[in-house]
Structure 1
Amino acid sequence: MALTDIKVRTTKPLDKPFKLTDGQGMHLLINPNGSKYWRLQYRFEGKQKVLALGVYPMVSLGEARR
Structure 2
Amino acid sequence: MPLSDLQIKAFRPSGRPFKHSDGGGLHLLVSPTGSKLWRVSYRYGGKQKLLALGSYPTVSLLNTRAGGKRSS
TM interval, shorter chain, is: over 0.9
TM-score (norm 2): 0.90
How many pairs align?
A: 66
Q: Percent identity?
A: 53
| 1:2-55 Cα deviation digits (max 9, x unpaired) | 000000011101100000100000000000000010000000001000011111
Question: Is 1:61 the counterpart of 2:61 in the alignment?
Answer: yes
Gaps of at least 5 residues in structure 1 are none
- Name the Cα RMSD after superposition: 0.4
SS of the aligned residue for 1:13 comes to coil
Structure 1 residue ranges (4+ consecutive) displaced by more than 4 angstroms after TM superposition: none
Give 1:34-53 correspondences, 5 Å limit.
34-53=34-53
TM-score (norm 1): 0.98
